[in-house]
Amino acid sequence: MTNQELSKRILELVGGKDNVVAAVNCMTRLRITLKDKSKVKMQELKATEGVLGVVEDETLQVVLGPGKAKKVTDLFIVDAGVQGGSVSDWKENKEAMKAGQKQGPVKRALKMIADIFIPMIPAIIAAGLFNGLAQLVGQLAPEAIASGTGFIFLLQTMFSLIGNAFLGYFAIYTGVNAARSFGATPALGGMVGAMTIGAQINTISTVLGLNAENPLNAILTTGKGGIIGVIVGVWILSVVEKKVRKIVPDVLDLIVTPLVTLLIVAVVLVLVIMPVTGFLSDVLVDALSVLINSDNAIVSVISGYVLSAAFLPMVLLGLHHGLIPIYAIQLETLGGVTLFPVLAMAGAGQVGAAIAIFLKARKVRNERMQKVIVGALPAGILGVGEPLIYGVTLPLGKPFVTAGLGAGFGGAYVMLTKVMATAWGPSGVVATFLMKTGGMMINFLLGLLIAYIAGFIITMLFIKNEDVANV
């Protein structure tokens, strides 16, 4: 089945054009926002050639695999006649999606976070890789870098330029995407993000007496509040902009609305949002440091094990999107992300469990399961776990648990050795190049190997041949 045929088949099975509100590519999935989920022919969709699995939460997520998901999504957007990306204003679409779309405030908040950050994941990965390469070149040729001339210095500078083109202006990109998610003007959202990193913030802080000798202790300073502050600021922007637009005459809207909106938001942002969210961010980082950056080996081992073992259940519940702001906060305050390498071990546990299931499937001659694993295993090793999760371990039940238990051992090792990444992205072998130093790369690979082996052993011990025979 071609990608075009698959797109049309999926559209037909989800209820046709009239039932689709929005569609977006999410790494290995086509995420579809529907008006009425009851119109979906779920069993036929799951059985469709090319569909590796289906996940139901506030959206319908069709698992298609790396690369293929993006191609099919692009075709699906055209076939369905909808815009790509997130819905512009979740409040306006709530009524359209009410059938089968009941969500609590936490679910809605996590969906908004996903809508803001998912489109930026390719840039986050690319920027992290280039910054990692820049650091690696600096470690391998320190004298050439210190000279400030020559090809090696130019190469490292080019890598840094590309990496910082995104990470240096992360707040601006976040502001633009948050504005799209909240229904504000994207360019104004970018301006709110830019304000938080503007040098004038320090001048204002000095005039108001909110600075300190140590910038880390200042109530207000450039970047204070980080990504959380930007998101809150843009949400207020969306509220203010809509209210102002209702009052201002149409003929003056283009001039008056952005002027008044930005003035109000800027004052609130600088005097309230940045100090408050900065305090909350500091508290969060300090609390996480107790677990993630602890000098106590026992604490590191326990926290690393629990976090890795529990991560995939969080993914199934849709709670993992709430970790993205934590990644961003760590990246801003620590210069790297220590939580991501630990959680990346979760996928490795699935790989080990899948290998064990393959051996058992071969023993009981379950050829269908063997084919599924052979097709999904390379993606799992490269860090795309959905095919293994939704095609192998989750349908069997117990292997999903044993894989998590195995992953915990890899997480414990990575936490103990204090591995730090320059960004976050796919969680498998390819993530190795996101680690900050050569030593951290080696420890990350060792963590993956430990998770593979532990996931394999635990699954072999606790899963019986008959559990695999008839699936």
Strands 29-34 and 53-56: unpaired
Query: Which residues carry out catalysis?
Result: 26
Locate tokens 């620590």: which residue? 334
d(CA 201, CA 273): 13
The whole-angstrom separation of Cα 9 and Cα 79 is 10
86 and 97 Cβ atoms separated by less than 8 Å: no
Give the whole-angstrom CA distance, residue 352 versus residue 342: 17
Partners of 47 in beta bridges:
none
Yes or no: say if 27 and 62 are a contact pair by the CB < 8 Å rule. no
C-alpha 355/C-alpha 324 separation (Å) is 30
* 22 phi/psi in degrees, rounded to 5: -160, 160
In whole angstroms, what is the distance from residue 91 CA to residue 400 CA? 36
Cβ 467 vs Cβ 367: under 8 Å: no
324-334 vs 226-247: helix crossing angle, rounded to 10: 120
Instruction: Please give the single-letter amino acid code of residue 156.
Output: Q
Residue 370: HSE in the Cβ half-sphere, 13 Å Cα cutoff: 10
Question: Residue 33 in contact with residue 22, Cβ under 8 Å?
Answer: yes
